[in-house]
Homo-oligomer: A and B are copies of this chain.
Amino acid sequence: MAIYLSRKEHFNAAHKLYNPNWSEQKNVEMFGPCANANWHGHNFELIVTVKGEPDPDTGFVVDLKKLSTLIRSKVISKLDHKNLNLDVDFMSGKMASTELLAMEIWKILAPEIPLLSSYARLYKITLYETPRNFVEYLGE
Protein backbone atom coordinates (compact mmCIF):
# COMPACT_ATOMS: atom_id res chain seq x y z
CA MET A 1 0.00 0.00 0.00
CA ALA A 2 1.46 3.36 -1.00
CA ILE A 3 0.31 6.94 -1.12
CA TYR A 4 2.22 9.99 -2.37
CA LEU A 5 2.47 13.16 -0.27
CA SER A 6 3.79 16.42 -1.71
CA ARG A 7 4.95 19.69 -0.20
CA LYS A 8 5.55 22.83 -2.27
CA GLU A 9 8.21 25.38 -1.18
CA HIS A 10 9.74 28.30 -3.08
CA PHE A 11 12.97 30.26 -3.41
CA ASN A 12 14.19 33.24 -5.40
CA ALA A 13 17.62 32.97 -6.99
CA ALA A 14 19.90 34.42 -9.66
CA HIS A 15 21.78 32.35 -12.21
CA LYS A 16 23.22 32.32 -15.70
CA LEU A 17 23.76 29.54 -18.20
CA TYR A 18 27.43 29.70 -19.12
CA ASN A 19 29.95 26.98 -19.90
CA PRO A 20 33.42 28.20 -18.91
CA ASN A 21 35.03 25.75 -21.35
CA TRP A 22 33.43 27.58 -24.26
CA SER A 23 34.15 30.94 -25.88
CA GLU A 24 31.95 33.92 -25.08
CA GLN A 25 30.57 33.66 -28.62
CA LYS A 26 29.64 29.97 -28.29
CA ASN A 27 27.92 30.65 -24.95
CA VAL A 28 25.79 33.38 -26.50
CA GLU A 29 24.97 31.14 -29.47
CA MET A 30 23.91 28.30 -27.20
CA PHE A 31 22.23 30.11 -24.33
CA GLY A 32 21.16 33.46 -25.82
CA PRO A 33 19.93 35.93 -23.15
CA CYS A 34 20.29 33.20 -20.48
CA ALA A 35 24.05 33.72 -20.76
CA ASN A 36 23.80 37.42 -19.78
CA ALA A 37 27.06 38.13 -17.93
CA ASN A 38 25.28 40.12 -15.21
CA TRP A 39 22.84 37.30 -14.38
CA HIS A 40 19.07 37.04 -14.37
CA GLY A 41 16.78 35.24 -11.93
CA HIS A 42 13.60 33.38 -11.12
CA ASN A 43 11.00 32.60 -8.47
CA PHE A 44 11.55 28.85 -8.32
CA GLU A 45 8.81 26.51 -7.03
CA LEU A 46 10.02 23.21 -5.56
CA ILE A 47 7.67 20.27 -4.98
CA VAL A 48 9.01 17.35 -2.93
CA THR A 49 6.99 14.12 -3.23
CA VAL A 50 7.43 11.28 -0.76
CA LYS A 51 5.95 7.80 -1.09
CA GLY A 52 4.88 5.67 1.83
CA GLU A 53 2.21 4.05 3.91
CA PRO A 54 0.14 6.17 6.30
CA ASP A 55 0.93 5.61 9.99
CA PRO A 56 -2.40 4.44 11.47
CA ASP A 57 -1.91 6.52 14.63
CA THR A 58 -1.50 9.84 12.80
CA GLY A 59 -2.91 9.20 9.33
CA PHE A 60 0.35 10.70 7.98
CA VAL A 61 2.95 9.33 5.58
CA VAL A 62 5.25 11.92 7.13
CA ASP A 63 4.50 14.93 9.31
CA LEU A 64 4.19 17.82 6.83
CA LYS A 65 5.68 20.29 9.29
CA LYS A 66 8.77 18.12 9.70
CA LEU A 67 8.97 17.68 5.92
CA SER A 68 8.72 21.44 5.39
CA THR A 69 11.36 22.09 8.07
CA LEU A 70 13.68 19.53 6.46
CA ILE A 71 13.32 21.04 2.97
CA ARG A 72 13.89 24.55 4.31
CA SER A 73 16.93 23.68 6.41
CA LYS A 74 18.70 21.42 3.89
CA VAL A 75 17.70 23.01 0.56
CA ILE A 76 15.85 26.34 0.65
CA SER A 77 18.32 27.96 3.07
CA LYS A 78 21.12 27.26 0.58
CA LEU A 79 19.24 28.56 -2.49
CA ASP A 80 16.93 31.39 -1.43
CA HIS A 81 18.20 34.88 -2.29
CA LYS A 82 21.38 33.28 -3.63
CA ASN A 83 23.30 33.04 -6.90
CA LEU A 84 23.15 29.43 -8.14
CA ASN A 85 26.50 29.73 -9.93
CA LEU A 86 28.47 31.47 -7.17
CA ASP A 87 26.88 30.87 -3.76
CA VAL A 88 25.73 27.22 -3.72
CA ASP A 89 28.31 24.60 -2.71
CA PHE A 90 26.53 21.64 -4.26
CA MET A 91 26.24 23.36 -7.67
CA SER A 92 29.94 24.24 -7.82
CA GLY A 93 31.47 23.19 -11.14
CA LYS A 94 28.08 22.31 -12.63
CA MET A 95 25.89 24.06 -15.19
CA ALA A 96 23.17 26.00 -13.29
CA SER A 97 20.32 24.37 -15.26
CA THR A 98 17.00 23.42 -13.71
CA GLU A 99 17.70 19.77 -14.63
CA LEU A 100 20.99 19.57 -12.73
CA LEU A 101 19.65 21.57 -9.79
CA ALA A 102 16.70 19.16 -9.39
CA MET A 103 19.09 16.19 -9.45
CA GLU A 104 21.28 17.73 -6.73
CA ILE A 105 18.25 18.45 -4.56
CA TRP A 106 17.32 14.77 -4.91
CA LYS A 107 20.78 13.73 -3.67
CA ILE A 108 20.40 15.93 -0.58
CA LEU A 109 16.88 14.85 0.37
CA ALA A 110 16.83 11.15 -0.58
CA PRO A 111 18.80 9.96 2.49
CA GLU A 112 16.87 12.29 4.82
CA ILE A 113 13.28 11.23 4.12
CA PRO A 114 13.51 7.76 5.74
CA LEU A 115 14.75 9.49 8.90
CA LEU A 116 11.40 11.33 9.10
CA SER A 117 9.48 8.07 8.94
CA SER A 118 10.52 4.50 8.29
CA TYR A 119 7.39 4.27 6.15
CA ALA A 120 8.57 6.91 3.64
CA ARG A 121 10.93 7.26 0.68
CA LEU A 122 11.67 10.23 -1.57
CA TYR A 123 9.71 9.67 -4.77
CA LYS A 124 10.06 12.79 -6.95
CA ILE A 125 11.58 16.27 -7.14
CA THR A 126 9.59 18.73 -9.27
CA LEU A 127 11.20 22.11 -9.93
CA TYR A 128 9.50 25.02 -11.71
CA GLU A 129 11.88 27.68 -13.09
CA THR A 130 8.89 29.60 -14.45
CA PRO A 131 5.19 28.69 -14.58
CA ARG A 132 5.84 27.39 -18.14
CA ASN A 133 9.18 25.54 -17.66
CA PHE A 134 9.69 22.71 -15.19
CA VAL A 135 11.52 19.43 -14.61
CA GLU A 136 10.77 16.24 -12.68
CA TYR A 137 13.35 13.77 -11.35
CA LEU A 138 12.57 10.35 -9.83
CA GLY A 139 16.11 9.17 -9.17
CA GLU A 140 18.25 6.99 -11.39
Residues on A facing B (Cβ under 8 Å): 1-10, 12-15, 17, 19, 21-22, 30-34, 36, 38-43, 49, 54, 56-61, 63-65, 80-83, 86-87, 94-100, 102-103, 130-138, 140
Contact = CB atoms under 8 A, between A and B. Distances in A.
Given A58-B19, A96-B59, A4 B137 contact: yes
Given A12-B42, A43-B131, A80-B33, A58 B17 contact: yes
Interface of A is mostly: mixed
A41 to B, nearest CB: 1
Nearest to A32: B65
A6 B140 contact: no
Contacts of A40: 12-14, 41, 80-83
